[in-house]
Structures are given as C-alpha cells and as structure tokens.
C-alpha cells in the first residue's frame, strides 16, 4: 500500500520503475528470459518479472537493515534497553 502511494509522487514513480527495471534488464541480458522484454529503451516486465523485482528490492532492504542494526547493537545503542 505504501508503494502505491509513493507511486503518485512525481519523480519517485520513475525511481521506482528504474529500481525494478534495471536489475531485471541485467538478468535478462545474462540469459534469464521470461522476465520481460526490452522495448524502446525501457524494460517492460512480465508478472513474474514484477514479482522477482519486488523480491530483489525486499532482499536489498532486508540486507541493508541487517548491516545497519549490527553496529547499533554492538555499540550499546538500540534495542529495548536503549
């Protein structure tokens, strides 16, 4: 739902499209077909492509959170004890 609201903000919808399009286009160039097709300088994902793109974005956020939380917990900050 948050993604749908963000897509209404001019400029951010383009960034969202690029965040999904570029990884899928790279995978397509590496030989993983069925994710979509290049069309006039853009990459038009299929339903499977959108699903895989969403998973890749989720994975990136998840790994980023793991990297950020480790130093916070190690330094004694964060957590319920504060």
CA distance 4 to 2: 5
What kind and span of H or E run contains 79? none
Residue 3 pLDDT: 65
Are 16 and 3 spatial neighbours (Cβ–Cβ below 8 Å)? yes
Mean pLDDT per 10-residue section of the chain, whose length is 82 residues? 69 71 83 83 81 83 82 61 52
Residue 1 pLDDT: 66
The reply to whether the predicted model has a pTM over 0.85 is: no
């Amino acid at each position: 739902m948050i993604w749908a609201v963000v897509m209404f903000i001019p400029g951010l919808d383009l960034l969202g499209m690029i965040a999904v399009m570029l990884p899928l286009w790279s995978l397509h160039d590496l030989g993983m077909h069925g994710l979509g097709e290049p069309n006039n300088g853009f990459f038009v994902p299929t339903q499977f492509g959108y699903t895989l793109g969403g998973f890749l974005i989720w994975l990136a956020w998840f790994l980023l959170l793991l990297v950020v939380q480790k130093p916070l917990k190690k330094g004694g900050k964060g957590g319920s004890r504060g």
